[in-house]
Amino acid sequence: MTKKILKFGGTSVGSIERIRHAAKIVQKEFNDGNSLIVVVSAMAGRTNDLLKKSYEISQNFDKKELDILLSSGEMETIALMTGALNNLGIKAKSWLSWQIPILTQGEPTNSRIINIGTEKINEYLKKGGVAVVPGFQGVSETFNLKTIGRGGSDATAVAIAKIFNMDCCEIYTDVDGVFSTDPNKIPVAKKIDKISYEEMLELSSLGAKVMQPSAVQTAMMYKIPLHVKSTFSEREGTRIFSEENIDYSKVVTGVAYSKDEAKITLQGVEDKPGVAAEIFEPLSKNQINIDMVIQNVSSDGKKTDLTFTIKRNDLSKSLEIIKKNKKINYMSLSHNEKVSKISAVGAGMITTPGVTYEMFRALAEEKINILAISTSEIKISLIIDESNTVRAIKKLHKSFKLD
């Protein structure tokens, strides 16, 4: 008997018909003799609809109340999924996050799972039942409802897989697996059969929407095998596991992009120890994540230009914080909110020279200017004008022979 997590995303349970279809997938796995915990997201569009309603009530809707509002989407789905399974003759029961409990820690709308109760569900599984659990949510130690960030159902599924010592975690979505780039933009994008945790973590954090980065990180830490599959086709999908099991016949595995970027540059900053910390500390305290950081020191070593990227919706807040910061001196402050980040990812980069050159050459042929560069062992990220995004992806995808 295999112990499995089956996680269904919002598009997989986006209508009554789709919930019935997902229930039949669970039925097949159950009839094959597997022990199952099913994790579900809210129906596609439901979370956005609830957010819209909160904005209509108030632009400053209380975050604790927002957690209660948003968590109702998954509560709806677990009841409907359980009903569909019961209708197929399968013994199934839904569990609210406080009944398990799924314990979380952190701020409202952005908490993280720290522990999960196992006794009640394990007892139910031993009696031959299927447990249906809501993703995206948990409770604080004082049993207040908390949500764990958009895409958090992946994190719930992987956390349950770890704590319940499941054999694997299957992520069902509306695509056939992980692709070399966005198949909606690049029709010749190729499905990846196998990918390492490290590569998947880079791709998901760089804009690939298939899995939540924190879920991939947890799976990597505890070596939980992941399998991304389509709810709507019989294709094999993509398996995500340890690097030693991957055959790196291609240097670059995939090209990711994000159009939700903004770039800020401080010119003529005094170059001395601690200046960068003075710039970034107030941004950090205001929950603003810094992504790429590029520093250019003047020839006399006295001044530096500091460029960094943030999420676009944090731009106005970031500029306001910087302008109010009396601890730093600079000659000028500029920004660009019409940029995107393009990244090439591949574990084969570690042993293959020339990848950076190939990326620069390809974009030069398209006359695409590079505004900022950041590299790691298995990733090269570039900031370019947003208008060039699709053209850049197509060119890089072809240049690295990913079509």
pLDDT tens sequence across 26-85: 999 999 999 999 999 999 999 999 999 999 999 999 999 999 999 999 999 999 999 999
Angstrom distance (rounded) from CA 196 to CA 343: 17
Does pLDDT of 166 surpass 70?
Answer: yes
Beta strands in 1-85 (DSSP E): 3-8, 35-40
How far is Cα of residue 202 from the mean position of the Cα atoms in its chain?
A: 10
Angstrom distance (rounded) from CA 238 to CA 170: 10
**What average pLDDT does the segment 349-361 reach?**
86
CATH number of 3-174: 3.40.1160.10
Please, which pLDDT band fits residue 292 given cuts at 50, 70 and 90?
Answer: confident
Percent of the chain clearing pLDDT 70 (strictly above): 97
235-289: per-residue pLDDT in tens? 899 999 886 666 566 788 899 898 889 999 999 988 888 888 999 999 999 989 8
Which has the closest alpha carbon to 358: 320, 398, 323, 314?
A: 398
Which has the closest alpha carbon to 30: 155, 131, 164?
A: 131
- DSSP assignment string, 244-258: GG----SS--EEEEE
Q: pTM for the whole thing?
A: 0.82
Angstrom distance (rounded) from CA 264 to CA 334: 6
How many Cα atoms occupy the beta-carbon half-sphere of 323 within 13 Å?
A: 9
Which has the closest alpha carbon to 397: 346, 339, 338, 340?
A: 346
Percent of the chain clearing pLDDT 90 (strictly above): 65
- Topology of domain 255-399 in CATH is VC0802-like (3.30.2130)
Q: What are residue 310's DSSP bridge partners?
A: 262
Q: What are residue 7's DSSP bridge partners?
A: 39, 171
Asked if the domains at 3-174 and 255-399 fall in one CATH topology, the answer is no
CA distances for 133 relative to 7, 84, 238, 261, 401, angstroms: 9, 14, 24, 34, 41
Return the pLDDT at 10: 95
364-394: per-residue pLDDT in tens? 999 999 988 888 888 899 999 999 999 999 9
Question: By CB neighbour count within 10 A (0-12 exposed, 13-18 middle, 19+ buried), where does 311 fall?
Answer: middle
Full 3-state SS string of 333-363: EEEEEEEEEEEEECHHHHHCCCHHHHHHHHH
Higher pLDDT among residues 139 and 242, named by residue = 139
8-state DSSP, 225: -
- DSSP assignment string, 286-306: TTPPP--EEEEE-TTSSEEEE
Structure tokens at 114: 């720290």
Structure tokens at 375: 């590299």
Angstrom distance (rounded) from CA 18 to CA 12: 6
Q: Which ranges of 97-174 would DSSP assign to H, the alpha helix?
A: 119-126, 152-163
Amino acid in the structure at residue 45 = G
**What mean pLDDT value characterizes the chain?**
91
By residue count, the chain amounts to 403
Domain range summary for the chain, segments of one domain joined by +: 3-174, 255-399
Return the pLDDT at 303: 85
